[in-house]
Amino acid sequence: MMENTPFKNNIPAVLALEDGRTFHCRSFTGHGESAGEIVFNTSMTGYQEILTDPSYTGQMVTMTYPLIGNYGVNAFDMESDRIHAQAILVKEYQAWPSNHRAKETLSDILIRHRVMGIDALDTRALTLHIRNTGAMRAVISTRNQNSSALADRAQQIPRMAGLDLTGAASSKIPYRFSNGQKTLLNEGGSLIDRNVWRHSGHKTPVVVIDFGVKHNILRCLETVGCEVVVLPARADADLVRSLNPDGILLSNGPGDPEPAIDAVKTIRDLIGFRPIFGICLGHQLLALALGGKTYKLKFGHRGGNQPVINVVTNKVDITSQNHGFAVDAESLNRRDIEITHLNLNDGTVEGFRHRRLPLFAVQYHPEAAPGPHDAASLFCEFHETIKVLHN
């Protein structure tokens, strides 16, 4: 974590990977150290949304686009209440943004959230190394310039495979999301029930199980006519049933899906109760609840330019993605599960649906933020599925 030191834009730093590869760089957010799995994102814009995406919990993000910070940051583009990434690594940081929406600089928000910002880094060389060897653990430090010692420390960081991080990224208290605002529902431990819905008959009540949800998912649900109540990752099936929603959305989130045993059990218990839509980690957890398996990708999919084909319609969408694990196609029971989407770069599963039950999921982010809006219609599809069954 960063130390509370005055801003300096030229503090030497060292990045050391667990395999011994090191990079000299500098901190634009003051002295400090950071550690985690190091990954890369190929988006040209959207650094604020990326940093505040809870799916990056435990990870340091390398931006492949060379100039970062040029349009500043603002309150609306936050995808959660705080920065979840461990650090951001860029080639060149622009300390003087020029944009009418900017309220502060990238370094301002990083310093406030005690997250390191690193520049003067050969991000192309780092990205190529990750592509060749895979995402790995790493340490950044301005205080310790001993590359060998930092690499040794990187080897002591827990591996992402085997980590259930849903609890760390999830809200702790249920809340209502309306017009971009959160209203906490059971502060002090009071119980909630089906009387939580305020717009019965006018909006479609949907429960979102929060494994690290992005705000734009909630905005998209509101846009298509849903009333949204968000439950913590630890919520069980009995609580969901007691609220009597018309639909359930399983959110994105960080970490390895297979250790999230409680979440998988909850989802399994809810299958057949109401229509379910899974996004990213929610896609993986739904697959596990249906008897499938997941595995870790070599370096993951992170960026706003991932081509996905709908194998049912042959339509191709360019999608926003952020994940390091994938669903094993061979593990899915094809009598019950139909694979609907595939990644055109590597053939991995990007979506599936149940042949008889109203369950479907996608690995990518239809809400984008950042990224293209090609797949935004999936929220309409979810809403229409609910309405057809409810009527």
User: Which sequence positions are flagged as catalytic?
Assistant: 280, 365, 367
Q: Which two tokens stand for residue 168?
A: 């760390």
**Nearest 5 degrees, angle CA 165-CA 373-CA 251?**
25
Question: Using CA atoms, how far apart are residues 187 and 210, in angstroms rounded to an integer?
Answer: 17
Beta bridge partners of 249: 208, 277
Q: How far apart are CA 347 and CA 368, in angstroms?
A: 21
CB-based burial label for 195 (10 Å; 0-12, 13-18, 19+): exposed
Find the helix packing angle between 261-270 and 281-289, rounded to 10°.
70
Residue 41 burial (C-beta neighbours within 10 Å; 0-12, 13-18, 19+): buried
The DSSP string of 197-248 is -SSBTTBEEEEEEESS--HHHHHHHHHTTEEEEEEETT--HHHHHHH--SEE
Residue 253 carries which DSSP code?
-
Locus of tokens 């001993």: 146
CA distances from 28 to 57, 115, 122, 228, 286 (A): 21, 11, 15, 39, 41
